[in-house]
Amino acid sequence: MIVRIDAEPFVFRLPLGSTALILIDMQKDFLDPGGFGAALGNDVSRLQPAVAACARLLAIFRACKMPVLHTREVHRPDLSDCPVSKRTRGNPALRIGDDGPMGRVLIAGEPGAAIVADCAPAYGERVIDKPGKGAFYNTDLATYLAAHQITTLVFGGVTTEVCVQTTMREANDRGYECLLVEEATESYFPEFKQATLAMIRAQGAIVGWTASLSAVEKSLEHCMSSSTAG
């Protein structure tokens, strides 16, 4: 069954049987004070609106019994998968691997690497740990999607212009149809978010589509109510 969503630059066709939601890096290290995002000098409060929106998006997909994936940008404790250039670039208050208020920054298994409670993975939902910005690099995401016959991805997460956009572009190059839910993504720089939304949907959806959360909710309302009734 194909669901039509009112989107930009034109209607997005979402196949219910082969679509998954992917939430990008909704981690404490990016969203909470004391994490890596704050160490870079950012106002992390600017990302907070995405938390509630992603939680709503999760509820929609769970009600429809559609696949959900989560990503986390993390590195091994020995930093063997973290390029020296990534760790040493810039002048942050805390570098990747340093001890911070939420444990070692962006290290797998540390408190700061965890996904925030409102968006925490439910039992059975896939979590992809990635050492880079894009979720396809050095992960088994492509294998997982192929095994589950996923052709379409709906996106939320942070930050819009970095890990979200990078993963969308990677997915687009691999032939996936991609929809970014506008309220479910945020940037430390609001103008970067708006520019990214424009780039994604430019030139006839060159990278993908964008749609409001209410448009997604409206289009999947029947699916949600049918699933609940069942």
Selecting among 28, 54, 129, 130, the annotated active-site residue is 130
- 8 Å CB contact between 162 and 132: no
Selecting among 25, 29, 32, 129, the annotated active-site residue is 25
**Does 163 qualify as catalytic in the annotation?**
yes
Structure tokens, 71: 């990503």
**Does 25 qualify as catalytic in the annotation?**
yes
Selecting among 64, 119, 163, 178, the annotated active-site residue is 163
- Using CA of residue 42, residue 33, residue 50, residue 24, what is the dihedral sign? positive
- 8 Å CB contact between 156 and 50: yes
What are the catalytic residues?
Answer: 25, 130, 163
